[in-house]
Structures are given as C-alpha cells and as structure tokens.
Amino acid sequence: MRRLAAAVALCAALASGCGGSSSAGGPDRIDVAAAASLSDPVTAYARQFGRDHDVEVRVRFGGSDELAAQIRQGVPADVFLSADAVLPAELARAGLLDRPEPFASNRLAIAADPAGPVRSLPDLARPGVVVALGSDGVPVGKYARHAIARLPQPQRVALLRNVKSSEPDVKGVLAKVVSGAADAGIVYVTDARAARAEVHTVALPRSLQPAIRYDAGVAVGASPAGLARRFVEGLRSGAGAHYLRAAGFGPVP
C-alpha cells in the first residue's frame, strides 16, 4: 500500500487540465485541506464536484493537527475537513473559519499483520508485540489512547509499553503494519477496510469506542465562498455523503 504524504496536493476534476483559474473565462478554484483518513472518498468527490460545477478542486491530505497549523500560518485552504471537532472549533474561535459543521462519523479497529501474532485485543498487550499508534497530537492517536484508557490497568500498562511508534496520521500507522515494522496498529475502521487485502482487521468492542466526529469549516473570506459552502453541503447530504458512506463512514452522530 502506498502511503499518502502528509501534504500531498492534487488537482481534481478540471474541465480542461490542471492549469488553474488565472485565465479569463477559466474555472474558479477551491483549496481543500482534509484529514488523511478521508483520502479516498474526498478525492472521488472532488473530481465529481469539479465536473459538476466547472471548478478546480485542489486537495491536500495530512494529519488534522498539521493541517490546522498550516491554516494558522496562512497556507491557503477554503475548506478544512478535520477528523475531530476540536481543531475546527479552535480555528473558528481564532476568526479563521466560519462555524464548523459535523459531516461524518467513524469507529476504531485494530489493523494487524496477517502473519503476525495479533488476532485479538488482548494480544496487543502480549510481551514482544510491536504496536503503532497515531501521535497524541493527531485525532486518531487521541482516539486510540481514549480507547486504551478504558482497559483494565494491567492490560492498559502492558499495551502502552508495546507502543513503539507514534505516527503523524492514520496512513502512517497503516504503513508501519503493512511494511512489517509493527505487528498491529489502532486505526479507523474505514482505513482498515480500504487496506483489507493487506491487513487482518480486529474489531474493538463498543465499550471502548470513542465518539469520532468529523467537522468541516469554511475559511473566513474563502473565495469563492459560495462554492466552498456548497462543497461542504455535499458532504452532509449529496454526492460527498454518498462517497463517504460507500467508504464506510457513518452519518453525523
């Protein structure tokens, strides 16, 4: 599986190539910063949105915390799609985003090396098992640690002792497992599903599942603002929502 770089930019759904919007009569453009876990459905949606609205949609994917930091530093983003509600709310309070809106939900699962020792949740705490998590600053890492905190103390302590890697996004966690550098990692169900040919998926019990909510925010002063808002609306109830459900994302909690 090819790992997506944290700030990959792609040009999607152009009416005529990837030439931008500077020429007279050319398409408008919106820039979207999206959590890495959204890469498949948002890429597909961006292409369709571009065709339907004669607009260039440029998407960059990465850890939600890194993308939020880029927005604070002035990196262009008309739309921010975060794997949590906290980061968009912080940007809104800073006057950088309009009021964020939830558009999807998700769950956690264990992605394990098919030839490795992990076949159940307790296996993550076995001596010698190598576990990868998202860093504690990125949503998937926060969610994973929230789930681990609900385990009985001996199991929790043993599992955390086995964490040897903290990755900047969920794609990094999967890459560690697929490459054999980790026996297992805690990822989103949607990412485990997308990599099902390369990993063994172990479900996490409902009692450990945190509430995972994806929020979208339109940048204050986004240009063209109408298209940016329409892009977000389509994620809530339109073509974007269709791609999200097909990829395994749940509705707004």
Q: How far apart are CA 107 and CA 140, in angstroms?
A: 10
Beta strands in the chain (DSSP E): 8-12, 28-35, 55-62, 79-82, 101-106, 108-112, 131-134, 163-167, 184-188, 200-203, 212-218
**Does residue 132 share a domain with residue 151?**
yes
**Does residue 17 share a domain with residue 87?**
yes
* Domain carrying residue 197: 108-208
**Does residue 113 share a domain with residue 91?**
no
* pLDDT at residue 3, as a whole number: 37
* pLDDT at residue 4, as a whole number: 34
- Greatest alpha-carbon span in the chain: 66
- What's 37's domain CATH number? 3.40.190.10
Residue with tokens 């979207």: 32
**Does residue 163 share a domain with residue 119?**
yes
pTM of the full predicted structure?
0.88
Residue 251 lies in a domain: no
> Tens digit of pLDDT per residue, the chain (253 long)?
333 333 334 443 333 333 333 333 445 899 999 999 999 999 999 999 999 999 999 999 999 999 999 999 999 999 999 999 999 999 999 999 999 999 999 999 999 999 999 999 999 999 999 999 999 999 999 999 999 999 999 999 999 999 999 999 999 999 999 999 999 999 999 999 999 999 999 999 999 999 999 999 999 988 788 999 999 999 999 999 999 999 999 999 7
**Does residue 112 share a domain with residue 201?**
yes
* pLDDT at residue 222, as a whole number: 87
Angle at CA 137, nearest 5°, toward 230 and 247?
45
59 three-class SS = strand
Residue 151 corresponds to which amino acid? L
3-state helix, strand, coil in the chain (%, to 5): 40, 25, 35
Residue 252 lies in a domain: no
Q: How far apart are CA 174 and CA 2, in angstroms?
A: 10
**Does residue 134 share a domain with residue 192?**
yes
* pLDDT at residue 27, as a whole number: 53
**Does residue 169 share a domain with residue 146?**
yes
- Residues 184 and 119: beta-carbon distance below 8 Å: no
**Does residue 218 share a domain with residue 129?**
no
Residue with tokens 């809104």: 92
Structure tokens at 239: 């073509």
**Does residue 216 share a domain with residue 101?**
yes
The H or E element that residue 29 is part of is strand 28-35
Structure tokens at 144: 């994973």
Sort residue 54 into left (φ over 0), alpha (ψ -120 to 50) or beta: left
Residue 3 lies in a domain: no
**16 class by beta-carbon count within 10 Å (0-12 exposed, 13-18 middle, 19+ buried):** exposed
Domain tally, the chain: 2
Q: How far apart are the first and last CA of the chain?
A: 30
| Cβ-based neighbours of 222, under 8 Å, separated by 6 or more | 30, 78, 79, 228, 229
- Residues 167 and 176: beta-carbon distance below 8 Å: yes
Residue 81 lies in a domain: yes
Residues in the chain: 253
**Does residue 231 share a domain with residue 175?**
no
* pLDDT at residue 21, as a whole number: 36
**Does residue 204 share a domain with residue 168?**
yes
**Does residue 47 share a domain with residue 33?**
yes
Residue 15 lies in a domain: yes
Residue 2 lies in a domain: no
Residue with tokens 């910063």: 33
